[in-house]
Structure formats: C-alpha cells, structure tokens
C-alpha cells in the first residue's frame, strides 16, 4: 500500500530548510504520497516549485488555521492542516493506504516506513525526544500493548505523540466521523477515540516498541539568542573603544 505522509507546515524562518530536510528523507521511500498542508490562505508558489523539483508524488494544500484559534493560547498547532488532509483523502474515497501524521520538524529513520506500511488497523511505536522522559511510547508485554509511558498523561486515554502511530485508511473508513478536534494537547487522543481504538487491536512496531525510529526534534528559534549576542557584540565593541 501507499503511505500518505501528512505534513502540517507553516511560514517561519525555518520552514524551507525543514521542508528540504524532510523531502530528502522522503525521496528514499518508495510508494509514498506527500500531503503538504501549509498554514496559509493560498499555496505558496515558491514551495510549489520546490515540491515539483523534488520529484516526489505530492499534494500541496492551503489549510489556514481559523483566526479564532490562532488567538488562543495554547494554539491547536497543525490541526487545520491535518483536517484538510483527512478531507482530501475522504473526498477522493482513498481507502487503500496508510495514513501517517509526520510533522515538518521531526526526524525519521527510513526503517519507520517499512514498519508502518503493513499496518492492518492502527500501529504504534515510540517517539524520541519527547519532554522530560525523552521518550513516549507504548509498553508491550508478550507482543501486546498494555499501557503507555509519557511525560504528560493528563487523563488521556491514548497518551501518545502525533508521530507515534499510523492508521490504515480502510480501517479509518469504517468511522465516517473520524476527526481531529481543535483541542491543544488532546489531538492524538481525540483522533484515536474517534476511530474507536481499543488496546487489543494496536499493532506494536519497532521491535515491540523497543526501538526509536522517529524523533520529536525541534529547530529552536534562535532569534532571542542572536539578539543577545549582537547586543553583547556592540557592548564589547564600545568597551574596546574606551580602553
Ligand atoms: C507536538 C506534536 O509533535 C504535534 O504533532 C502536535 O500537533 C503539537 O505538539 C501540538 O499538539 O501542539 P510541537 O513540536 O510542540 O509538536 O509543535 P510544532 O512542531 O510547532 O507544530 C506541530 C505541526 O504543526 C508542525 O508540523 C508545524 O509545522 C505545524 N504548525 C505549527 C502549523 O501548521 N501552524 C502553526 O501555527 C504552528
Ligand atoms: Mn514539532
């Protein structure tokens, strides 16, 4: 089956380098369709050109976050984008394939793709570099998922990261109301509830969830640091002048 790799993205200084980095990972993956959903009112022509140049099968969506949510703190990041991708798949009645939500700033081991490709219903696996514990993922006993390890459980039934699961579209099609609500922190949990997940059907991947094949890397915005350093640079220069 085809893997539909859904990537929310948004305009900021790091956007283009992140997309280039991700594209050169995806170029190593056979039978993949990249759904790039940008948090912008219209498709950015430069990104469109980039996507064409990579030569990957792709769909470029404009999926702006509604203004109402943009003013909220915290914001539901990437939700409008993922909802647009789900809608795109649904409108085309694509039920043959694997759906994976892969943010633009994560790091993906190529082994992840061969692991998720044979997802029958919902597969799960650990994600590295998540908050305090530095890993979030299922606990597996005798080949079955029996619980979860996560730094922030917060009464979630499915305390997992967005990058920690894959869904077979045929399974998802059984739940026409499947959706991702605009609820910061609870997007994964509520999506998985909307497809009526239960523990017994979860397929553990990554060697019974003992290997990390995806990392929640974050490209830090260095603007503040840069400002601090340049102020220091100016101070040092003026000090030099008074010597
Ligand atoms: C973590 C999870 O990894 C995300 O899957 C989850 O959506 C997010 O928390 C959340 O629940 O808020 P995190 O690294 O904290 O992600 O957030 P970002 O990487 O900044 O954003 C998640 C995705 O949404 C990214 O692909 C990003 O490009 C996109 N995004 C972010 C937007 O489309 N618009 C924004 O204003 C911000
Ligand atoms: Mn991120």
pLDDT of residue 221: 73
What is the number of structural domains in the chain? 1
Sort residue 34 into left (φ over 0), alpha (ψ -120 to 50) or beta: beta
Mutate to test the pocket of ligand 1, among 12, 73, 103, 152 (most ligand atoms within 8 A of CB): 103
Alpha-carbon distances of 22 from 18, 90, 104, 178, rounded to whole Å: 6, 25, 7, 27
Q: What is the pLDDT of residues 36-81, one digit of tens each?
A: 999 999 999 999 999 999 999 999 999 999 999 999 999 999 999 9
ipTM of this predicted structure:
0.96
Residue 30 CB partners (closer than 8 Å, separation 6+): none
Burial class for 181, CB neighbours closer than 10 Å (0-12, 13-18, 19+): middle
Tokens of 122: 């919902």
Neighbouring-strand partners of residue 72: none
What CATH number corresponds to the domain at position 152?
Answer: 3.90.550.10
Alpha-carbon distances of 41 from 11, 63, 73, 164, rounded to whole Å: 11, 7, 21, 29
Strand order in the sheet with 58-62: 58-62, 32-38, 3-9, 98-101, 165-168, 122-124, 202-204
Q: How many other C-beta atoms are found inside a 10 Å radius of the C-beta of residue 182?
A: 17
How many angstroms does the Cα of residue 218 sit away from the middle of ligand 1?
Answer: 10
Tokens of 6: 């859904």
Domain interval for residue 216: 3-242
pLDDT of residue 220: 82
DSSP string, 161-210: -GGGEEEEHHHHHT-TT----S-TT-HHHHHHHHTT--GGGEEE-HHHHT
Which ligand is located closest to the Cα atom of residue 12?
Answer: 1
pLDDT of residue 243: 47
How many angstroms does the Cα of residue 91 sit away from the middle of ligand 2?
Answer: 28
Name residues of the chain where pLDDT drops below 50.
243
């Amino acid at each position: 089956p085809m893997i539909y790799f859904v990537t929310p993205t948004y305009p900021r200084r790091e956007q283009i380098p992140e997309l280039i980095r991700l594209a050169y990972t995806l170029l190593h993956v056979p039978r993949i369709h990249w759904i790039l959903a940008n948090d912008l009112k219209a498709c950015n022509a430069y990104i469109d050109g980039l996507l064409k140049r990579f030569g990957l099968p792709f769909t470029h969506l404009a999926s702006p976050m509604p203004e109402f949510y943009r003013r909220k703190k915290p914001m539901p990041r990437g939700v409008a984008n993922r909802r647009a991708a789900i809608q795109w798949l649904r409108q085309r009645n694509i039920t043959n394939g694997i759906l994976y939500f892969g943010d633009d700033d994560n790091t993906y081991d190529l082994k992840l793709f061969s692991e998720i490709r044979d997802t029958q219903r919902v597969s799960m696996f650990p994600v590295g570099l998540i908050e305090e514990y530095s890993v979030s993922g299922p606990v597996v006993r005798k080949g079955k998922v029996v619980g979860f390890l996560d730094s922030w459980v917060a009464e979630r039934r499915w305390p997992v990261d967005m990058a920690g699961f894959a869904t077979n579209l045929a399974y998802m099609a059984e739940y026409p109301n499947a959706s991702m609500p605009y609820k910061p922190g609870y997007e994964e949990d509520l999506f998985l509830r909307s497809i009526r997940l239960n523990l017994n059907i979860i397929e553990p991947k990554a060697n019974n969830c003992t290997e990390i094949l995806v990392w929640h890397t974050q490209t830090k915005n260095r603007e503040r640091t840069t400002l601090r350093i340049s102020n220091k640079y100016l101070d040092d220069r003026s000090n030099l002048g008074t010597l």
